[in-house]
């Protein structure tokens, strides 16, 4: 655990321009739209996390670690497309440990804390940011890991691929959100989407690779220190 704390300390948040899509960058319609879309996701996720803590209260500390990991990584900013930024998402670890529904709640908490404490992002854009980072990213992470297991891939390779794809899926979703909110004046949403994706890709691909590798390192540390009665880590340790 000491090594894990050192890694998290090195990755402490730095000052930056925004948290995902910044306050006021989305028109009122799209801010409301994404908030309404995300509400049922959050409610279901809240029920899942409540059920998890009732059935396995010993996982509270590990859940807190996943939350802290997401908070620290997603606070590392590189300026990118106007009105947004590139950064690790940090939600892949929690998605692998607890599933995407649990991360739909943790992700909102992380985003909300960063709005209030670091002035990253915004309240009006919380629904849009949560949909991309706290739902789409974890869903793709979990799905790719599941498919990789079915293919018999090494666990470490599966984790890396899952986190990488989940990270990129988040930014594809963000690009789509920005394109719908700010379509190209001549060619519309499609052209705007390609512009956003191409610019995001310059910084996001290497970030996704780094996050994938870091998540593998963290899971290796956890598998050595967390009791093997936790199903995911037990299987990870046996098949890595």
CATH at 174 = 1.10.1760.20
What pLDDT is recorded for position 7? 46
Q: Which of 91, 74, 76, 86 is nearest to 218 (CA)?
A: 91
Query: What is the domain range of residue 126?
Result: 2-6+17-231
Domain count, the chain: 1
| Mutual angle of helices 155-181 and 137-150, in 10-degree steps | 150
What pLDDT is recorded for position 117? 84
Q: Which of 134, 189, 141, 181 is nearest to 161 (CA)?
A: 141
Residue 238 lies in a domain: no
Residue 239 lies in a domain: no
Distance CA 139, CA 100 (A): 5
Distance CA 74, CA 71 (A): 6
Residue 183 lies in a domain: yes
Residue 236 lies in a domain: no
What pLDDT is recorded for position 8? 44
Q: How many CB atoms lie within 10 A of CB 218?
A: 20
Q: Chunked in runs of 10, what are the mean pLDDT values of the chain (240 residues)? A: 45 41 90 97 96 88 92 76 68 94 95 84 91 96 95 93 96 92 91 87 87 94 70 62
Q: How many CB atoms lie within 10 A of CB 180?
A: 19
Residue 12 lies in a domain: no
Q: Which of 236, 224, 103, 100 is nearest to 157 (CA)?
A: 236
Distance CA 212, CA 55 (A): 30
């Amino acid at each position: 655990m000491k090594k894990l704390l050192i890694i998290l300390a090195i990755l402490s948040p730095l000052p930056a321009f925004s948290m995902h899509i910044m306050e006021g960058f989305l028109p009122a319609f799209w801010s409301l739209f994404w908030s309404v879309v995300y509400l049922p996701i959050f409610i279901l996720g809240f029920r899942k996390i409540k059920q998890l803590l009732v059935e396995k209260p010993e996982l509270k500390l590990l859940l807190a670690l996943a939350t802290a990991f997401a908070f620290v990584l997603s606070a590392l900013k590189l300026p990118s497309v106007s009105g947004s930024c590139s950064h690790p998402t940090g939600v892949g670890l929690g998605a692998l440990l607890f599933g995407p529904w649990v991360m739909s709640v943790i992700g909102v908490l992380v985003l909300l804390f960063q709005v209030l404490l670091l002035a990253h992002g915004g309240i009006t854009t919380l629904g849009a940011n949560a949909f991309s980072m706290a739902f789409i990213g974890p869903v793709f992470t979990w799905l790719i890991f599941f498919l990789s297991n079915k293919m018999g891939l090494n666990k470490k390779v599966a984790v890396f691929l899952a986190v990488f794809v989940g990270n990129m899926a988040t930014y594809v979703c963000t690009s789509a959100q920005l394109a719908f909110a700010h379509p190209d004046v001549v060619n519309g949403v499609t052209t705007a989407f390609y512009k956003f994706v191409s610019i995001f890709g310059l910084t996001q691909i290497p970030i996704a690779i780094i996050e994938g590798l870091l998540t593998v390192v963290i899971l290796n540390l956890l598998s050595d220190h967390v009791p093997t009665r936790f199903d995911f880590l037990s299987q990870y340790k046996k098949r890595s």
